[in-house]
Amino acid sequence: MLATKSTILIVDDMQTNLSILSNLLKDRYKIKVAKSGKKALEIIQKGGVDLILLDIVMPDMDGYEVCKIVKNNEKSKNIPIIFVTANNTKEDEELAFALGAVDYITKPFSPSTVKARVNTHINLRNRQLQLEKLSKAMQEKNEILTRYTKVIDQNIITSSTDLKGTITHVSNAFCKISGYTKDELIGRNHRIVRHPDMPKELYQDLWKTISKGKSWEGEIKNLKKNGDYYWVKIYITPDYKNGRKIGYTAVKQDITDKKRVEELSITDGLTNIFNRRHFNKIFPKAISSSKRNSELLCFLMIDIDHFKSYNDNYGHQAGDDVLIKFATCLKKSLQRVEDLVFRLGGEEFGILYKAQTKKSAIQFANQLRLNIQNLKIEHKFSPTAAYITASMGLLCKDGKKINDAEKAFKEADDLLYKAKENGRNRVEVNKD
């Protein structure tokens, strides 16, 4: 496509001068002419003029007056003006530049000089227009970016920290979901929103990953300022400046509603602890984890002694109250965040927990048995004790020695049966 020719307006009251300049420039530029200042202003007002060649001495309105009007008009002030005149005094030239002219050519002129100067100022004008166009485009993009940034800030949960985890930036959405203000968060360690329910191993894995310059993603339960909680799906990536890692940025999605639905599906409706469905999902994972980390698998199976007779004599509502108190006792007795308690069905419960040695695992189980007895829930119809008690079967093995989740469950169940056979209110443990 051929480039559009620039338009030059030649203003001179002498036809001879108009003809000479027009013939000189017409091959390269579009030419418009005006024999008076008034006519020149009419043409300029319509737009499309890229440069003006302006005589000074003209009837009615001289070139200086035309220049003043052009430069005082917002639409035309940036059009370059070159005076082409017979006035060759220093004072005339200085006045021309003072009024905003870009050049001053005296008559008689050299054709090559006129061409060169016109070409120079047309090029400068075109570059100026390009810059103005780019500037306008950038301004529009910046306005769009500002709008997008505002939308993101209000709706996307984001935060940035330095290499030590000190918060350097948070979005308004982060403040909204956490309940903190920006002033309360910036400068504090990100641990301010860490929920105690989250296992420390998760954060260890997180920091290990991002410290190596890799990204990390997962689901995290966070703590609100008011003590409530919220869940986020989080993606953390390192930040770099001049090739040097300077911190981390996290983008988060609120998944609280999703997690609450999940919690309902894995929570026992009466006792508010995990149900059998969740146990069936977690138990194989616990075995795999103990194998991978060369740890003991500790699975304690628990049954309330003579619970049927309790229900028959005290009523099912009283029985439900016992189940709730029993589950609460189990949960409060746990020693680590990663220890889990389940209602496996009826009056049967299970606990998955960590222990350094088999001896400490047995000590925990016996302490739990005493905690239950110390609830002192009266059971007059129990031949075992005057209060509610529990029998327990403890499977405590090196994870590498467990090959099958069903067999492991069966072994714990057999140990529970043995505890009942041997008098109840006791813990039976695997021998190997």
Whether 125 and 20 share a structural domain: yes
Q: Is 196 within a domain?
A: yes
CA angle (317, 318, 324) in 5-degree steps: 90
Q: Is 108 within a domain?
A: yes
User: What is Dmax (Cα atoms) for the chain?
Assistant: 132
pLDDT for the residue 1: 44
User: What's 43's domain CATH number?
Assistant: 3.40.50.2300
Whether 249 and 287 share a structural domain: no
Q: Is 2 within a domain?
A: no
Distances (CA, A) of 297 to 106, 351, 363, 391: 101, 11, 15, 20
Q: Is 145 within a domain?
A: no
pLDDT for the residue 33: 96
Whether 280 and 386 share a structural domain: yes
> Letter for the amino acid at 129?
L
Whether 225 and 163 share a structural domain: yes
pLDDT for the residue 2: 52
Q: Is 244 within a domain?
A: yes
pLDDT for the residue 199: 87
Q: Is 141 within a domain?
A: no
Whether 70 and 115 share a structural domain: yes
Instruction: Mark which of 234, 255, 276 sits at the end of a domain.
Output: 255
Q: Report d(CA 386, CA 243) in Å as an integer.
A: 72
Instruction: Mark which of 255, 290, 323 sits at the end of a domain.
Output: 255
From its phi and psi, is residue 36 left (phi > 0), alpha (psi between -120 and 50) or beta? beta
Q: Is 315 within a domain?
A: yes
Whether 335 and 200 share a structural domain: no
Whether 291 and 374 share a structural domain: yes
Total domains in the chain come to: 3
Give the domain extent around 308: 267-429
Whether 204 and 344 share a structural domain: no
pLDDT for the residue 3: 63
Q: Is 113 within a domain?
A: yes
Whether 209 and 163 share a structural domain: yes
Whether 397 and 302 share a structural domain: yes
User: What's 282's domain CATH number?
Assistant: 3.30.70.270
Whether 84 and 178 share a structural domain: no
* Residues involved in catalysis: 347
User: What's 166's domain CATH number?
Assistant: 3.30.450.20
pLDDT for the residue 183: 96
What tens-digit pLDDT sequence spans the chain (432 residues)?
456 899 999 999 999 999 999 999 999 999 999 999 999 999 999 999 999 999 999 988 999 999 999 999 999 999 999 999 999 999 999 999 999 999 999 999 999 999 999 999 999 988 988 998 999 999 999 999 989 989 999 999 999 999 999 999 999 999 999 999 999 999 999 999 999 989 888 999 999 999 999 999 999 999 999 999 999 999 999 999 999 999 999 999 999 999 999 888 999 999 999 999 999 999 999 999 999 989 999 999 999 999 999 999 999 999 999 999 999 999 999 988 889 999 999 999 999 999 999 999 999 999 999 999 999 999 999 999 999 999 999 999 999 999 899 999 999 999 999 999 999 999 999 998
- Tell me the whole-structure pTM to 2 decimals: 0.60
Q: Report d(CA 300, CA 12) in Å as an integer.
A: 106
Whether 22 and 100 share a structural domain: yes
Instruction: Mark which of 99, 132, 165 sits at the end of a domain.
Output: 132
